[in-house]
Amino acid sequence: MSGVTNRQGGKSYLPKVLFLSGVGTGFPPSGHRGGTMDGKRSAASAEGIRTLYQQMGPVLAANVVNGGLVVAALWGRVDLSTLLAWGGVLATISLVRAALWGRYLASRPAESDLPVWGCRFTLGSVVSAVVWGASAILFVRPDDPISLVLMAFVLGGMAAGAMTALGSYPPAYYLYLGISVLPMVGRLLSFGDRVSLTMGGMLMLFVVCMVVIGRNYRLSLTRRVQLARQNAMLLANMEEQIRQRTADLQASNSRLREEVAERRRAEAALETARAEAERANKAKSRFLAAASHDLRQPMQAMFLFCRTLRNHLADRRGREALVMLERGLDILKNLLDSLLDVSRLDVNVIHPEKRRFALRPVIEEIAASFRPIAASKGLAIRIAQMDELLVESDRNLLGRILRNLVENAVRYTEQGGIEVGARLAGATARIEVRDSGIGIPADQLEWIFEEFHQVDNPERDKARGLGLGLSIVQRLATILGHRVDVRSEPGKGSVFAIEVPGRRFDECGAETAGGALDETASGHGRMVVLVDDDAMVLLGLRSLFQGWGYEVVIAGSTDEACGHLQNAGMTPALVIADYRLRSGRVGSEAIERIRAIYGRPVPGIILTGDTGIEFSHDGAEPGFRVVHKPVTSHQLADVVEELIGRA
């Protein structure tokens, strides 16, 4: 139900009139207010509509109770059939409005849908006001002062009560006030005697006062919404201010280092500034580390459900839309990972797990993920002819390095393309990412690996990244013990290379590198236990593992998981638990208790969005793996295959 329709099937004029007169927003129309004022009006209107439905219970109760009292008081004083008909109409309208209230509570509408609900409420208030206004015409007679006083008292009281119930939304309030009370004013004035004229004038003055009070109430609500928006803007600017302050402090440190030989007295100031910069940087890292868990939880659920949804979409356009959604999630994940990787690097909680694996699948996966983005710019991503190589590194961290290099190449290349390849030089595999982009001036080469430094982006356009990609590349390479170098010529392009221990595939005999888990039927009926207190993530994991062929046991806590396993009838092949559970419990405890039940080291994976130092050693025991959210289905498949294969 989106509004009243006319007989020809078109929309009624009522919503349009309400909108053009300011009813849709709660403000009078104006032709010279800017976008900021539109935002304030929209927020205030949404808050007012929510308040309407919060007050709807007392409003309906007041209508029913007062209507019943009016019928009881006028019984025998007015025509009985008219009185009963009036009461029946009022009761019917109250039932319809109660049904509308129930639909609102059940649907929980988004803010964009609230104007429609505001119009529906206003329409109900108008119909109710018509019934109450008609009571003055039907029941008030000049020869019956009791009915006159009664209806004046009831209508005045209802109008005063409407201030509290409807004042948050002017369209409903003003229309109800005018339609319910003004007929009584007209009725009194029509009697012509001095007392009636005086009462009519007093009632009209009462209406004017209620309009003024309602306007002041609305202005107070608007100011409150405006203050809330200002607070939100201040919070949104906090991170940018921290980054700017850190950059300013680093610049001050550089100037002080140049003057230290001539200004001995500046040494103390230099140390103070350096300490403050370090504190600011650690504060930023602690903030990002603490926020990572809450940020990663909903994104993790979206990754899992996108992967599950792929198997249920037969429509081509639906699958194309899902692909675009997954690409958008990948971009969002990369931005979040860039920020949180810096915090994890700052607090030294990244510990590489090196093993031997095939290089080509990693390169092919990265190239495939960036080809649609490159194609949108008219670029091609090509994999150079290369030997089949095995490299020794941390697969996830090396993949992160190469992904950042390819992403950087796509961002700064406008024509031509990008080529990714590798060649063996002795016992070292040299992996190169070549582009035909803008290139890097010689005086910028020593700065490109610094945080927030970007070539040819002085305006700090966020659409061109945050300037963290190459900084993360350098720091991850240092952790892995790999060397990174760059060659570039402005206007012709750049070549970024990373050197990794490696050898040809055929030199390794029967040794294998490990591949991706067969996601179509890899479970073979084995049982996996999933423990997470976030329902979205838990259901997403269940769908993913059921799609892989596993028997799945899910639980929101350690005790619940152990209870389910008492009657499971089989031993789990794997336990996956979120690190932070309810009541201060942790996922490693769940794995240990399940191991104790079966008396053997069941493999366990800890999923976490935390990056704090206090967590970094909790899962170091053999048979544990710590995986940071958000993790894609391919990444999780690799970890599952490694643990189950090792077991």
Strand partners, 580: 586
Three-class SS string for 164-207? HHHCCCHHHHHHHHHHHHHHHHHHHHHHCCHHHHHHHHHHHHHH
H-helix or E-strand containing 576? strand 574-578
Q: Which residue has the higher pLDDT, 569 or 419?
A: 419
Q: Is residue 1 part of a domain?
A: no
Digit-coded pLDDT (tens) for 310-322: 777 777 777 777 7
Q: Is residue 574 part of a domain?
A: yes
| CA quadruple 230, 231, 236, 241: dihedral, nearest 10 | 100
pLDDT beyond 90 at 442: no
Q: Which residue has the higher pLDDT, 6 or 422?
A: 422
Note whether 565 and 597 are within 8 A (CB). yes
- In the predicted model, what is the mean pLDDT of residues 404-419? 88
- In the predicted model, what is the mean pLDDT of residues 92-114? 89
Note whether 306 and 326 are within 8 A (CB). yes
Domain residues for the domain of 632 are 266-346+517-647
Distance, CA of 347 to CA of 613 (rounded, Å): 6
Q: Is 418 helix (H, G, I), strand (E, B) or coil?
A: strand
pLDDT bin (cut points 50, 70, 90) of residue 62 is confident
**Count: domains in the chain:** 3
Distance, CA of 400 to CA of 462 (rounded, Å): 21
Cβ neighbors of 543 (< 8 A, separation 6 or more) are 304, 305, 308
pLDDT bin (cut points 50, 70, 90) of residue 575 is very high
Distance, CA of 400 to CA of 338 (rounded, Å): 10
pLDDT beyond 90 at 530: yes
Note whether 553 and 572 are within 8 A (CB). yes
Residue 639 is encoded by which pair of tokens?
A: 């970890």
Q: Which long-range contacts (CB under 8 A, 24 or more apart) does 79-85 make?
A: 82/138, 83/139
Q: Is residue 248 part of a domain?
A: no
Same domain, 332 and 378: no
Q: Is 287 helix (H, G, I), strand (E, B) or coil?
A: helix
Q: Is residue 241 part of a domain?
A: no
Same domain, 196 and 162: yes
Distance, CA of 230 to CA of 253 (rounded, Å): 34
- In the predicted model, what is the mean pLDDT of residues 253-281? 76
pTM for the predicted model, two decimal places: 0.38
Same domain, 365 and 483: yes
Residue 352 is encoded by which pair of tokens?
A: 């590489």
Instruction: Supply the CATH number for residue 312's domain.
Output: 3.40.50.2300
Same domain, 53 and 109: yes
- In the predicted model, what is the mean pLDDT of residues 404-430? 88
Q: Is residue 238 part of a domain?
A: no
Q: Is residue 247 part of a domain?
A: no
Integer-rounded Cα Rg, in Å, for the chain is 35
Strand partners, 624: 604
Pick the last residue of a domain from 178, 211, 231. Answer: 231
Same domain, 548 and 577: yes
Note whether 153 and 160 are within 8 A (CB). no
pLDDT, residue 526, reads: 87
Q: Is residue 182 part of a domain?
A: yes
Same domain, 527 and 617: yes
pLDDT bin (cut points 50, 70, 90) of residue 611 is low
Distance, CA of 571 to CA of 63 (rounded, Å): 63
Same domain, 280 and 388: no
pLDDT, residue 470, reads: 76
pLDDT beyond 90 at 157: no
